[in-house]
Chain A
Amino acid sequence: MLSFQDLILTLHAYWGKQGCVILQPYDMEVGAGTFHPATTLRSLGPQPWNAAYVQPSRRPTDGRYGENPNRLQHYYQYQVIMKPSPANLQELYLGSLVEIGIDPLVHDIRFVEDDWESPTLGAWGLGWEVWCDGMEVTQFTYFQQMGGFDCKPVAGELTYGLERLAMYIQGVDSVYDLKFNDAGVTYGEVFLENEKQMSKWNFEVADTEKLFRWFKDCQAEWRQCIDANIPLAAYDQAIKASHVFNLLQARGVISVQERASYMGQVRDMAKGSCEAWIASNADEWSVKFPGWTA
């Protein structure tokens, strides 16, 4: 039975063999693996790109002070991005399930319609949530647009919920009971205290005045980066602003009406970064990939 860390190592080995670059997590707070520039920015443009990585994901509003066995404000996603989407992506994905010990003639694997959309990234795609015995274990998406721009070509994205998958494989009912390794360390020992303290900070302590200020600062810094034509740096500021917005939501200081406006501001920053990224690469891309146009 795979420990949590062996699950990750197995997936790394598998996707590495399929030609993916095995990256390390992006070193910033993000809400999902999709925010990693290796997905957001690299899914734009014609150059082939295959990568896999673990991304710690922060969802402040999902915190439950360590009291709910299924909900965390910090958890791990395993992210695979392949561009252009290979013709056998479904088969590759099913191969990874077999690799981690899920036999599709014993377990019921289903592709259930689920169209994906990220309003803050201006992105959408079509695909499925993959069910294993009635449990959603992976989001499988063919990106159609990112940052408001058509994906040319389309990338296939797989997002595994690692804790959920591990709980399933290990047969435990609480995330905190997961075996982290084979030497007796549990997930709870590593992260329970973290969940308690961060939930408290997210919901109760975080200084909202500072958060509002940080949001504005990110916007200003983003503008500077765009003006300096450094889209990668600009995108970092978009990510930061997005996380600050999530924290403000958790603090409950953003009304329903304001929410749409803040999301629009984050989206504008993400889109602007994507636009600048395309603009700074378009000449090279059109030369290397005849027929491609921005």
Chain B
Amino acid sequence: MTDFLLEIRCEEIPARMQVKASEDLARLFGEELGRAGLTPGAIDSFVTPRRLALIARDLPLETAAVSEEFKGPRTNAPAQALEGFLRKTGLTQDQLEDRDGVWFAVVNKPGRATADVLAQAVPAVIRAFPWPKSMRWGTASQTTESLRWVRPLKGIVAILGEDLVDIDVEGVRSSYATLGHRFHHPGEITIGSAHDYVEKLRACHVIVSHPERQAIIADKAAQAAAAHGYTVIEDKGLVAENAGLTEWPVPLLGDFDPAFLEVPPEVIQLTLRINQKYFVLRDAAGTLAPAFICTANIEAKDGGAAIVAGNRKVLAARLSDARFFWEQDKKTALADHAKKLERITFHEKLGTVADKVERVAKLARWLVEEDIVKGADADLAEQAARLAKADLVTEMVGEFPELQGIMGGYYARAEGLPDVVADAIRDHYKPVGQGDDVPTAPITVAVSLADKLDTLVGFFGIEQGPTGSKDPFALRRAALSVLRLLETNGLRLNLKKAHAFALTDHVYRHVFLNTKALADVDAQTLAKFGFDPAKVTELEWQAANLGRPEIKSFVGAFASSDLPFLDFFADRLKVQQKEAGVRHDLIDAVFALGQATGKIEDDLVRLLARVHALQSFVATDDGVNLLAGYKRAANILKKEAGDLPTGNTALSYTPEIAEAALIAALDVAEPRAAQAIAAEDFEGAMAALAALRAPIDAFFESVTVNDSDADKRAARLALLARVRDAVHTAADFSKITG
């Protein structure tokens, strides 16, 4: 048993690719060995900007000999069959065995030297390496068939035990020699075996372990910060990135002019992190400190003074730019910035961002005026919506797109707009991801909801809903955000109505804007349609008469987009509830209600309340028993394929005691459940239904449904149907499993 060292050296590997590349190398190498029947005890991986390496532990010096048996044709089979078998096995006929009239071949494969296996495995791994982007280089690149690697490949170290494994990949030959740190140890160093690799390189200022470099960066950055009374704002991604940019990381602290702190902290943080890859610091009070930590790749002769001075200067220039943008942007009111949104296309078929803003402003106002979003001032909601996208054309957001919204909030406050408006501008993109905060401030909620609904209605209107894994306009995320806004704030939004409102504005703007070029008269004609959904077909007619079939089809597509839109929300809700741990059969049970009646539940809050009540109910004994009773009733009814008598008709016979009890119980439970449901008290409805449990059990115990008397049979079946229908007022229990 011995260890194998592989190092593949190349010019600087992008930081973001290193960890994945290291994993890929270990995996592919392990697979190649596996194919040859070799299993190392362990594979240790290393990666730096200039090398990928691994040590495969405890390899045998040769692979085990294997004996494989193949079954061939029958001995009386035609000659061609035998010839084929001999070709396949590489044997001659006298080497075959005749076992009961069938040819068998036993092929003995001797063990192979592990060094030979490695000499084949390494080039195979290199040629098949899955870099996200790779390149050609040098003299060999005169053809496009030349070797590809992430950056030019420079050298290979391959040592099994203490012996060199001879490898040649397109002219790059394996050797014992590698390079240490680019500047500290520019000459070649010789590696003896896997055992001295890590320490020899460390002596030459290369820490080959990525996790170790990360730990050094995190620790030394924390120490440097603490020495100045600061703490580092944790950023694991940045630690990993810096570990990917250094072989010998040396965190150094520098400061910047505190006067820059007048620029919003988000801007400073981004300048430090994104542009310069610096760590951001906080002072004892928790506010942003006028200092940074950069990670150098050398132990500088002057202790890092020149490096810190250089980085300070670069940062000062960057922060000056940021301050210039901040001051420049503030000179223009957001309302004036917003005018420039006309120049940005939102979507070729949905107009400019300015068009979108118009629609969102109307929709936000509508949400408030319809009392869907309560406690907001309609004028302020409209104002916030009109200004929400204005920062997209500011210099600062041009430089840092990730500050959209945030900058708008700052600029709104700077020009003295009400805080609720500034907050709404800042937060209207929220919630962005699953873990993001959901806004609760009414004006923010109105703008955020309007923005997302407009996007959804628009893209469904132009038939650009998500398909399969493709969701280029992030509509699934938008719908999920809408759901979370509704749920968190308990908003009673009728989705169909909202769709109709948003749609009309979309159609109106599109048709109006597209046709106004034809003649002013047409524009006036169209303008009179206003925003009434009932006018959509009239618009269609109008469009057809204008001789613009593309507008007709546009309007038509919009007009029929309500069902896909509602279905999409239903699907999103199911996905969301499943992820939240709600049993999917319970979700189905509630959704099935609408499908059965043709009335799709478009009030999501109501729908969720029902799902949640059902979930609690089926966990109780009453729930379990009612479900059992229901299932029994439903099963009997299912066998009755024909029409069942329904309704609460007078009986032609005297009912048995349990039968009468069930009728009485239904007489009480039905109106109670109905009332509770009307009041949206789903727990109450379920409790009312739970009262049926004992009578149902008793009924099944003592009453024969399948009575020889046709009248009795019919009446009892009708009674079971009553039970089923009563239960269905809460949920379609047939969908519930278990």
* Residues of A participating in the B interface, judged by any CB pair closer than 8 Å: 46, 68-70, 84-87, 90, 94, 103-113, 115, 125-128, 132-135, 142, 144, 150-154, 156, 168, 173, 255-257, 289, 291-292
B327 part of interface (Cβ distance < 8 Å): no
B324 to chain A, nearest CB (A): 8
B135 is contacted by which of A70, A134, A142 (Cβ under 8 Å)? Answer: A142
On whether the beta carbons of A133 and B310 are closer than 8 Å, the reply is yes
B317 part of interface (Cβ distance < 8 Å): yes
| Set of chain A residues within 8 Å of B343, measured between Cβ atoms | 255-256
On whether the beta carbons of A109 and B317 are closer than 8 Å, the reply is no
* Residues of B participating in the A interface, judged by any CB pair closer than 8 Å: 11-12, 14-16, 49, 133-144, 150-152, 154, 182-184, 245-246, 276, 278, 294, 296-298, 300-302, 306-307, 309-311, 313-317, 321, 324, 343-345
By beta carbon, the residue of chain B nearest A48 is: B139
By beta carbon, the residue of chain A nearest B135 is: A126
A-B contact count, CB below 8 Å?
Answer: 127
B329 to chain A, nearest CB (A): 16
On whether the beta carbons of A132 and B310 are closer than 8 Å, the reply is yes
On whether the beta carbons of A105 and B184 are closer than 8 Å, the reply is yes
Question: Which of A94, A153, A156 gathers the greatest number of chain B CB atoms within 10 Å?
Answer: A153
A203 to chain B, nearest CB (A): 15
On whether the beta carbons of A108 and B297 are closer than 8 Å, the reply is yes
Provide 22 A-B residue pairs closer than 8 Å at the C-beta atoms, listed in order of the A residue.
A68-B324, A70-B317, A94-B182, A108-B297, A108-B307, A110-B245, A110-B246, A110-B297, A113-B12, A113-B14, A126-B151, A128-B12, A133-B313, A133-B314, A134-B315, A142-B136, A144-B136, A150-B144, A156-B137, A173-B317, A256-B344, A292-B142
| Set of chain A residues within 8 Å of B135, measured between Cβ atoms | 125-126, 142, 144, 154
On whether the beta carbons of A90 and B11 are closer than 8 Å, the reply is yes
| Set of chain A residues within 8 Å of B294, measured between Cβ atoms | 108, 134
Top 4 closest pairs, chain A to chain B, by CB? A133-B310, A113-B14, A111-B12, A134-B311
B304 to chain A, nearest CB (A): 8
Question: Which of B15, B246, B298 gathers the greatest number of chain A CB atoms within 10 Å?
Answer: B298
| Set of chain A residues within 8 Å of B140, measured between Cβ atoms | 153
On whether the beta carbons of B245 and A112 are closer than 8 Å, the reply is yes
Report the Cα distance A151→B143, complex, angstroms: 9
| Set of chain A residues within 8 Å of B311, measured between Cβ atoms | 133-134
A108 is contacted by which of B15, B133, B296 (Cβ under 8 Å)? Answer: B296
By beta carbon, the residue of chain B nearest A171 is: B313
Report the Cα distance A173→B317, complex, angstroms: 8
| Set of chain B residues within 8 Å of A128, measured between Cβ atoms | 12
On whether the beta carbons of A106 and B300 are closer than 8 Å, the reply is yes
By beta carbon, the residue of chain A nearest B292 is: A134
On whether the beta carbons of B136 and A107 are closer than 8 Å, the reply is no
Report the Cα distance A103→B144, complex, angstroms: 38
With A255-B343, A257-B345 given, is the CB distance from A291 to B142 under 8 Å?
Answer: yes
Report the Cα distance A113→B151, complex, angstroms: 10
| Set of chain B residues within 8 Å of A135, measured between Cβ atoms | 310, 313-314
Report the Cα distance A16→B258, complex, angstroms: 46
A156 to chain B, nearest CB (A): 8
B15 is contacted by which of A103, A113, A152 (Cβ under 8 Å)? Answer: A113
On whether the beta carbons of B11 and A105 are closer than 8 Å, the reply is no
By beta carbon, the residue of chain A nearest B345 is: A256
B136 is contacted by which of A105, A154, A257 (Cβ under 8 Å)? Answer: A154
On whether the beta carbons of A111 and B49 are closer than 8 Å, the reply is yes
With A84-B141, A132-B310, A152-B142 given, is the CB distance from A106 to B152 under 8 Å?
Answer: no
B141 is contacted by which of A68, A70, A103, A154 (Cβ under 8 Å)? Answer: A154
By beta carbon, the residue of chain B nearest A144 is: B135
On whether the beta carbons of B137 and A154 are closer than 8 Å, the reply is yes
B143 is contacted by which of A127, A142, A257, A291 (Cβ under 8 Å)? Answer: A291
| Set of chain A residues within 8 Å of B183, measured between Cβ atoms | 104-105, 109
By beta carbon, the residue of chain A nearest B300 is: A106
| Set of chain A residues within 8 Å of B321, measured between Cβ atoms | 70
| Set of chain A residues within 8 Å of B141, measured between Cβ atoms | 84-85, 151-154
On whether the beta carbons of B142 and A84 are closer than 8 Å, the reply is yes
With A90-B11, A153-B138 given, is the CB distance from A113 to B344 under 8 Å?
Answer: no
A143 to chain B, nearest CB (A): 9
| Set of chain B residues within 8 Å of A150, measured between Cβ atoms | 144
By beta carbon, the residue of chain A nearest B142 is: A153
Given A107-B310, A134-B294, A135-B314, 12 extra CB contacts under 8 A? A70-B317, A84-B142, A87-B138, A106-B306, A107-B300, A107-B307, A126-B133, A135-B313, A152-B144, A153-B136, A154-B137, A292-B142
A252 to chain B, nearest CB (A): 9
| Set of chain B residues within 8 Å of A107, measured between Cβ atoms | 300, 306-307, 310
A58 to chain B, nearest CB (A): 21
| Set of chain A residues within 8 Å of B16, measured between Cβ atoms | 113
By beta carbon, the residue of chain A nearest B183 is: A104
B350 to chain A, nearest CB (A): 14
Report the Cα distance A132→B183, complex, angstroms: 13
Report the Cα distance A152→B138, complex, angstroms: 9
| Set of chain B residues within 8 Å of A142, measured between Cβ atoms | 135-137, 151-152
Report the Cα distance A87→B151, complex, angstroms: 11
With A84-B142, A113-B15, A150-B144 given, is the CB distance from A108 to B298 under 8 Å?
Answer: yes
On whether the beta carbons of B306 and A133 are closer than 8 Å, the reply is yes
Question: Which of A46, A85, A150, A173 gathers the greatest number of chain B CB atoms within 10 Å?
Answer: A85
Report the Cα distance A152→B136, complex, angstroms: 9
On whether the beta carbons of B301 and A105 are closer than 8 Å, the reply is yes
| Set of chain A residues within 8 Å of B306, measured between Cβ atoms | 106-107, 133
By beta carbon, the residue of chain A nearest B276 is: A134
Report the Cα distance A231→B182, complex, angstroms: 43
Report the Cα distance A111→B184, complex, angstroms: 16
| Set of chain A residues within 8 Å of B133, measured between Cβ atoms | 115, 126
| Set of chain A residues within 8 Å of B12, measured between Cβ atoms | 111, 113, 128
Report the Cα distance A106→B278, complex, angstroms: 19
On whether the beta carbons of B298 and A153 are closer than 8 Å, the reply is no
| Set of chain A residues within 8 Å of B246, measured between Cβ atoms | 110
On whether the beta carbons of A46 and B142 are closer than 8 Å, the reply is yes
Report the Cα distance A188→B311, complex, angstroms: 25
By beta carbon, the residue of chain A nearest B254 is: A134
With A105-B300, A109-B183, A256-B345 given, is the CB distance from A168 to B138 under 8 Å?
Answer: no
A129 to chain B, nearest CB (A): 11
Question: Which of A46, A86, A127, A154 gathers the greatest number of chain B CB atoms within 10 Å?
Answer: A154
On whether the beta carbons of B138 and A154 are closer than 8 Å, the reply is yes
| Set of chain B residues within 8 Å of A87, measured between Cβ atoms | 138, 152, 154
A170 to chain B, nearest CB (A): 12
By beta carbon, the residue of chain A nearest B151 is: A126
Report the Cα distance A247→B409, complex, angstroms: 34
Question: Which of B11, B136, B144, B321 gathers the greatest number of chain A CB atoms within 10 Å?
Answer: B136
By beta carbon, the residue of chain A nearest B275 is: A134
B514 to chain A, nearest CB (A): 16
A74 to chain B, nearest CB (A): 19
| Set of chain B residues within 8 Å of A291, measured between Cβ atoms | 142-143
Report the Cα distance A69→B142, complex, angstroms: 44
Report the Cα distance A74→B240, complex, angstroms: 38
| Set of chain A residues within 8 Å of B11, measured between Cβ atoms | 90, 111
On whether the beta carbons of B138 and A86 are closer than 8 Å, the reply is yes
Report the Cα distance A289→B315, complex, angstroms: 49
A106 is contacted by which of B136, B154, B301, B345 (Cβ under 8 Å)? Answer: B301
Report the Cα distance A154→B345, complex, angstroms: 39
A130 to chain B, nearest CB (A): 10
| Set of chain A residues within 8 Å of B314, measured between Cβ atoms | 133-135
B228 to chain A, nearest CB (A): 19
A101 to chain B, nearest CB (A): 12
Report the Cα distance A94→B12, complex, angstroms: 14
Report the Cα distance A69→B321, complex, angstroms: 10
Question: Which of A85, A94, A105, A108 gathers the greatest number of chain B CB atoms within 10 Å?
Answer: A108
A99 to chain B, nearest CB (A): 16
Report the Cα distance A113→B21, complex, angstroms: 15
On whether the beta carbons of B143 and A152 are closer than 8 Å, the reply is yes
Report the Cα distance A154→B148, complex, angstroms: 12
Report the Cα distance A46→B140, complex, angstroms: 11
